[in-house]
Amino acid sequence: MSAVDPVALIRDYAARGLTKEETMQALRWGREKFLHMLELLGDVEWAPRNKTVNRRLYCESIRGQCRPYQALNATRARAGLKAKSNKTVRGFTGSVQEIIDHFGIPTSVSSVRRRRAQGMSWEDAFFTPNKPPVCGKATNNGWN
């Protein structure tokens, strides 16, 4: 049976991205013995915090998942945003697109938002008819 060089093992584990704690457990050494060996070794380059092998494996295993409290908070946030974005026009409550679809209004969401930015009420913004384009009006697009 061949003898294993503990110095080489420590440097190898550090190069692979194990923490000091994981290296100590892999060697089955006590803390005092391990820390004494590190003092004798001098400068060993360990993996930066949160960049160890086990941390990367853990992060990969939980990717796309969330804890129950995170899911609950996300659900509450979505419900709050939905409630804030809902408008009531003529007794119907919904988003701008839902109101347009419900009443069959021939206008777009961007037109309603533009009209609201101009100071119109919600009722006027939805039910003001679209203006037909002005024929023959010169446009300033740099081509004429």
Quick one: tokens of 141? Answer: 């697009």
Per-residue pLDDT of the chain (144 residues; tens, 9 = 90+): 456 788 888 888 888 888 888 889 888 999 999 889 888 888 888 888 788 888 888 888 888 888 888 888 888 888 887 777 888 898 998 889 999 999 998 889 999 999 999 999 999 999 988 877 677 665 665 554
In the chain, what are the domain boundaries?
Answer: 6-61, 78-127
Quick one: tokens of 108? Answer: 């777009």
CA dihedral 35, 37, 42, 43 (to 10 degrees): -70
Q: pTM of the predicted model, to two decimals?
A: 0.42
Question: What's the count of helices (H) and strands (E) in the chain, helices before strands?
Answer: 8, 2
Residue 44 neighbours by CB distance under 10 Å: 15
Quick one: tokens of 61? Answer: 């295993």
Strands (E), 25-123: 87-89, 92-94
> Whose CA is closest to 129, among 113, 109, 110, 105?
105
